[in-house]
Amino acid sequence: MKVLDLKATKVLNSKGDFVIQIEIKTKYGTFKATAPKGTSKGKYEFPEFVGGINSAIKKIKVIKNKIRHESFNDLSDVLSFEYETKKYGSGICLPITFSLLKALTYDKGTKVWKLFNPKKKAMPKLLSKMIGGGAHEFNKGPTFQEFLHLPKSKDLDKNIRENIDVYKKIAKDEKPIGRDLEGGWALKISDEQAFKILKKNASGKIGCDFAASNFYKNKKYVYKNKKLSKQAQIKHILELKRKYNLYYLEDPLHEDDFEGFAELTDKLKKKALIVGDDLFVTNPERLKKGVELGACNACIVKPNQIGSLKETIEFVKLAKRYKYVPIISHRSGETNENILSDIAVGLEIPIMKIGIVGGERVSKINRLIEIKGE
């Protein structure tokens, strides 16, 4: 497959921020793709645009000259070309990779997920936000960022229905004031009140993305009415886990505290998923450090954190090798781009963290439904 033309356009995401849409033209037609943008970002994430979005767009001319001289015959060819694009930022590299994958599947008469894994097809469980807080809710509600529900059923249709039912129950009983950036209900309540509401309405397992780096200041975890040391924070998290039977604990400590994560993982053993997001930022080298220290037993997968699909695949393979549960995740600033679902199925990732409302979230769930029937 040869690329005839490449074009970059600024488009809006669900936060109202500009991202780049890449449009690749081949003899089969035009193929478009975008990449998401986060709000609560780990400090070790790869830059979205090196030198800013306008500077990145100017680099398209250079990339266009190079891409026209390439032939893309399989997945490895697409991943190899990321060497030419990652240096401009994840917001350029990933849309080019994604649009190339779409073009390649048309050329091969297949589906994107089949490029990764042509035979197996396992649907991920959907981990969905019910109540929002932290930076996603503009710090007006709970300190913690996401209060989450993981359904019991392994069937995709039942999985979706379980999450929708819990979401609607909360709306009916609690009368939310609105929604946060990812569709979670906005409520002027405390963390403990949010856990009580979630526990009362849940049909499956419950959890939380604490996003602790966002309220870690001067070596203390700063809440609205208290400040906790590292050991006090670990004790607090353990108490919350016991009190509300939490199964999923994401970023309960700040992004540099590998030792604290290891201590928490050791104390909980296999009783819960201790999930590293800002701790690992989808970076294979940081995951290796976590493995060495025994920090976490699960990890978030966000391709735009590391800036390339090739390294994302390496990260997922590494996680599976060391028995860490990989969890692929949306970002707060999404578009209707739905290739994340193909990646989830193609890489056999068991859990997908995704909101259940909003076109930019629903497009990914609908893509899973399509894949199930393919």
Catalytic residues: 182, 302
Alpha-helix runs per DSSP H in 86-220: 90-108, 112-116, 156-174, 191-201
> Distances from the Cα of 106 to the Cαs of 4, 72, 101, in angstroms?
15, 12, 9
Q: What is the C-alpha separation between 151 and 218, in angstroms, rounded?
A: 38
Query: What's the N-to-C CA distance of the chain in angstroms?
Result: 24
Compute φ and ψ for 324, nearest 5 degrees.
-90, 140
Q: What is the C-alpha separation between 233 and 253, in angstroms, rounded?
A: 8
Quote the tokens at residue 286: 């940081």
> Distances from the Cα of 23 to the Cαs of 4, 9, 15, in angstroms?
11, 8, 22
Cα–Cα nearest to 356, from 166, 200, 189, 192: 166
Quote helix, strand, coil % in the chain, to nearest 5: 45, 20, 35
Q: What is the C-alpha separation between 255 and 278, in angstroms, rounded?
A: 5
Strand partners, 333: 37
Cα–Cα nearest to 108, from 26, 32, 22: 26
CA 132 to chain CA centroid, Å, is: 16
**Burial grade of 119 (CB within 10 A; 0-12, 13-18, 19 or more):** exposed
Give the three-class secondary structure for 26. Answer: strand
